[in-house]
Amino acid sequence: MWCVITHCDLDKPDPEIIKKKIESFKKWGGFEVPMENVIQFNNTKESLQPLVDKLKDGNMKFCENLE
């Protein structure tokens, strides 16, 4: 099972903000998010590669070049 949570800011969040968000998910949502499952997207294809790598083991197909 996957849960994608997005958060938009003008600046990249510092690790303390990410830690507080994870604690909030545990307290209010009842689920834990390991830090190794946090993927920070910086508007580049390369920054999403860790997510793609984790999803590839599932039954999904990925297009390498969308234009």
The answer, yes or no, to whether residue 1 has pLDDT greater than 70, is no
Mean pLDDT, to the nearest integer, of 36-54? 85
Evaluate whether residue 58 is within a structural domain: yes
Question: Distance between terminal CA atoms of the chain?
Answer: 29
Evaluate whether residue 2 is within a structural domain: no
What pLDDT, on the 0 to 100 scale, is given for residue 11? 79
Mean pLDDT, to the nearest integer, of 4-12? 75
Is the distance from CB of 48 to CB of 41 less than 8 angstroms?
yes
Evaluate whether residue 60 is within a structural domain: yes
The tokens of 31 are what?
Answer: 């689920």
Residue whose entry in the numeric block shows the structure tokens 């390369």:
46
What pLDDT, on the 0 to 100 scale, is given for residue 14? 85
Task: Give the domain extent around 55.
Answer: 8-67
SS3 annotation, 38-56: CCCCCCCCHHHHHHHHHHC
The answer, yes or no, to whether residue 60 has pLDDT greater than 70, is no
Burial of 14 (0-12, 13-18, 19+ CB in 10 A): exposed
Evaluate whether residue 1 is within a structural domain: no
The answer, yes or no, to whether residue 4 has pLDDT greater than 80, is no
Number of domains into which the chain is organized: 1
